[in-house]
Amino acid sequence: MAVVAAELAPPRSSRAADLRSFLLLAVLCLPALVPLAVVLSAVLTPEVEVWSHLLQYVLPEVIANTIVLVVGVSLGAAVLGTLLAWVTSACEFPGRRFFEWALLLPLAMPAYVLAFIAIGYLDYAGPLQSWLREVFGSSRWVPPIRSTGGVIAVLTLSLYPYVYLLARAAFLSQGRRAQEAARSLGMSAARAWWRVVLPMARPWIVAGAALVAMETLADFGAVSVFNYDTLTTTMYRAWFGMFSVNAALELAAVLLVFVLIVFAFERRARAGLRFATTRDLSQQAPRIRLRGARATLATCFAAVVFGLGFFFPVLQLVLWVVERAAMDLDARYFEFVMHSVVLATSAALIISAASLLVAYLERHHGTLMVKLLVRIATSGYAIPGTVLAIGIVVPIIGVNNTLQSWLSAWLGPSAPALLLQGTLITVLLAYFARFLAVGFNPVESGLNRITAAIDEAAVSLGAAGFQLVRRVHVPLLRTSLMTAAILVFVDVMKEMPITLIARPFGWDTLAVRVFEMTSEGEWERAALPALAIVLVGLIPAALLTPRGEHVA
């Protein structure tokens, strides 16, 4: 702890301090590094037979699929999120106040639920095409929902809020001055938007799109509902179908290559993040008041996205709950909600606190090694949950067995049986490995906005070390920390595989309930826990927006 507090002093650098903080960081990131080590160590014992099969028949198509999906969803989310963020942050139109908040809500909706509902409605047998057949006699001309376009659309609708959140923060802090400057130099409003407003927000947009890309890489639920083959589904196929967990881990290593590419993109964009924040142009710009057709267009646009991404899916869930799942609602639901909330809250607190510490270490001792370590530690976000869960749970079981053998040697047969793997520690460690990136990104960009001058001013006034953090940084970082905590909270609420494998006996959560229902295809009965996840997720989303002006 002494080391920790020392790191909180204003920047200074010595070789010893650098080394010390590197070690501290390594310990801190350990839970996130272990599963990656497991993944990479699998490469040492290649499953030659499985691989030669995969290379010949599976991987060419699957890798192409993965690239198309990741590029499509990232671009889609970037365009949708940026447009919505700009319209709600720079313009005034009927319903703007509502949509500003409501457009975040799809974040609380698990992507697989959206996928299932979309297919239910839009597939050949669904109500829309049935109606079209009744009216026109045929619906063959309707583009199939179970297609590449369909899966991209659904994932885009469910993931765009990441971009929306970050881009909105960028547009709000940008003010309208830059655009005015461009216009005084002879540029039309539209061209000024392209040449100035958009490029200035680029670092944030790309940061959001990178999160989207990682989520897309890791997604199993939604792509399975679409039967769209990606690297992730291939991992499951190798593991569950060909009984080769090793091949699955090796495929995860391939996936890490994709993550590196995403990081490289993000890094290039983020290089701009620093300069883009140095001059505060925050003078709140007046909103552009949209009128007539434009106002209607803006309202419709926001309403369509909100409707498709949140309102109608929730409506469908409600209908299912009323129709079928009411019978499942019993006193235990209180317990499920409690378990979910306890896990999500603890994970949110731990991960945002750790993110703060990691961000500090990176800020004050940003050696190449430290930056690399942080990058590695946050790449777990892109690894599919089940693979990551195994990567963290199996080593913990190893630790447990070692402790057990020591304990037995010491106490003999009366030694209590240890069960680390079935404890909340394990669950939280695994969440840590998976969601560190989610918490770290907003905290890091928030910290970047605090200049060294602010630190120095505070120190000169006698607020150093822990005081500096408490009295200066925490208040300044409040919204960033809130964003981090809330994103983690919502993600943990939806998380399934880690919770399943590592939860203590009887510690069922809402996500576990969704699994119980969907594992035998009873999607309608899964509506109740899914709806509960959405509703609980609404609470933090509600906290996020009203003052979201300075988010991230």
Partner 1 sequence: MPHRTLSPLARCGALLALGFLALTGCSRAPTELVVYSSRNEQLIKPMFDRYTQETGQAIRFVTDDAGPLIERLAAEGKNSPADILLTVDAGQLWQAAERGLLQPIESEIIKTNIPAHLRDPQSRWFGLSVRARTIVYSTERVDPQDLSGYEDLADERWRGRLCLRTSKSVYNQSLVAMMIAAHGEERTEEIVRGWVANLATEPFANDTRLMEAIVAGQCDVGIVNSYYFGRLVRDKPDLPIKLFWATLAGEGVHVNVSGAGVTAAAPRAEAARKFLEWLTEAEAQAMFAGANLEYPANPNVAPDPLVAAWGTFQPSPLNVAQAGELQAAAVRLMDRAGFR
Partner 2 sequence: MWLELHEVVRRFGTRAAVNGLSFQLERGAIGCLLGPSGCGKTTALRCIAGFEPIDDGVIRAQGVVLAKRGESIAPEKRHIGMVFQDLALFPHLNVHDNVAFGLAHVSRDERRRRVEELLTVVGLADRCFHYPHQLSGGEQQRVALARALAPKPDIVLLDEPFSSLDSELRERLGLEVRQVLKRFGATALLVTHDQREAFAVADVVGVMRDGRLEQWATPYELYHQPATRFVADFIGEGVFLPGDIVGPSAVQTELGVLHMNGGARWRPGQRVDLLLRPDDVIHDDASPLTAEVCARTFRGADFLYTLRLPSGTQLLSLVPSHHDHAIGERIGIRIEPDHVVAFERKSS
DSSP string, 43-112: TTS--HHHHHHIIIIIHHHHHHHHHHHHHHHHHHHHHHHHHHHHHHHHEE-TTHHHHHHHTTGGGGS-HH
Interaction partner, residue 136 (partner 2, partner 1, none; CB < 5-8 Å by kind): none
Contact between 259 and 382 (Cβ < 8 Å): yes
Amino acid at 329: L
d(CA 418, CA 406): 11
Interaction partner, residue 497 (partner 1, partner 2, none; CB < 5-8 Å by kind): partner 1
Q: Given the structure tokens 């408490």, which residue do they identify?
A: 470
Q: Which of residues 421-480 bind partner 1 (CB under 8 A)?
A: 421-425, 465-467
Which of 101, 236, 312, 333 lies at the binding interface for partner 1 (CB under 8 A)? 236
d(CA 491, CA 111): 11
The length of the chain, given as a count of residues: 552
Question: Which residues touch 289 (CB under 8 Å, ≥6 apart)?
Answer: 91, 92
Question: Which residues touch 112 (CB under 8 Å, ≥6 apart)?
Answer: 221, 222, 224, 225, 518
Which of 176, 202, 237, 494 lies at the binding interface for partner 1 (CB under 8 A)? 237
Give 289's strand partners: 92
- Does residue number 14 form part of the binding site for partner 2 (CB under 8 A)? no
Token readout for 468 is 């500096």
Question: Which residues touch 369 (CB under 8 Å, ≥6 apart)?
Answer: 22
Which of 94, 126, 272, 395 lies at the binding interface for partner 2 (CB under 8 A)? 272
Q: Which of residues 178-217 bind partner 1 (CB under 8 A)?
A: none
Which of 166, 225, 528, 544 lies at the binding interface for partner 1 (CB under 8 A)? 225
Q: How far is the CB of 77 from partner 2 (least distance, A)?
A: 22
Q: Given the structure tokens 């509960």, which residue do they identify?
A: 532
| Of residues 178 and 464, the one with the C-beta less far from partner 2 | 178
Beta strands in 221-346 (DSSP E): 288-289
Token readout for 75 is 């671009």
DSSP state of 310: I
Q: Which of residues 16-55 bind partner 1 (CB under 8 A)?
A: 53
Give 288's strand partners: 91
Report the 10 Å Cβ neighbour count for 338: 11
Q: Which of residues 139-178 bind partner 1 (CB under 8 A)?
A: 144, 146-147
Listed residue (395, 456, 402) closest to 429, CA to CA: 395
The dihedral through the CA atoms of 394, 395, 400, 405 has a sign that is positive
Cα angle 119, 122, 124 (rounded to 5 degrees) comes to: 95
Q: Which of residues 160-219 bind partner 2 (CB under 8 A)?
A: 177-178, 180-189, 192, 195-196, 199-200, 202
| Of residues 140 and 267, the one with the C-beta less far from partner 2 | 267
Q: Which of residues 248-287 bind partner 1 (CB under 8 A)?
A: none
Stretch that binds partner 2, among 36-44, 121-129, 268-276, 465-473 (CB under 8 A): 268-276
Q: Which of residues 358-387 bind partner 2 (CB under 8 A)?
A: none
| Of residues 280 and 456, the one with the C-beta less far from partner 1 | 456
Stretch that binds partner 1, among 243-251, 306-314, 359-367, 478-486 (CB under 8 A): 243-251
Interaction partner, residue 311 (partner 1, partner 2, none; CB < 5-8 Å by kind): none
- Does residue number 364 form part of the binding site for partner 1 (CB under 8 A)? no
Q: How far is the CB of 38 from partner 2 (least distance, A)?
A: 41
Amino acid at 502: A
Q: How far is the CB of 510 from partner 2 (least distance, A)?
A: 43
Amino acid at 528: L
| Of residues 185 and 297, the one with the C-beta less far from partner 2 | 185
The residue count for binding partner 1 (CB under 8 A) is: 76
Q: How far is the CB of 439 from partner 1 (least distance, A)?
A: 16
| Of residues 120 and 366, the one with the C-beta less far from partner 1 | 120
| Of residues 276 and 370, the one with the C-beta less far from partner 2 | 276
Burial label for 284, CB within 10 Å (0-12, 13-18, 19+), is: exposed
| Of residues 366 and 465, the one with the C-beta less far from partner 2 | 366
- Does residue number 123 form part of the binding site for partner 1 (CB under 8 A)? yes
Which of 1, 56, 137, 279 lies at the binding interface for partner 2 (CB under 8 A)? 279
| Of residues 271 and 322, the one with the C-beta less far from partner 1 | 322
- Does residue number 27 form part of the binding site for partner 2 (CB under 8 A)? no
Q: Which of residues 330-349 bind partner 1 (CB under 8 A)?
A: none
Contact between 455 and 368 (Cβ < 8 Å): no
DSSP string, 213-251: HHHHHH--HHHHHTT---HHHHHHIIIIIT--HHHHHHH
- Does residue number 419 form part of the binding site for partner 2 (CB under 8 A)? no
Interaction partner, residue 188 (partner 2, partner 1, none; CB < 5-8 Å by kind): partner 2
Q: How far is the CB of 180 from partner 2 (least distance, A)?
A: 5
User: Residues interacting with partner 2, by CB under 8 A?
Assistant: 177-178, 180-189, 192, 195-196, 199-200, 202, 272, 274-281, 283
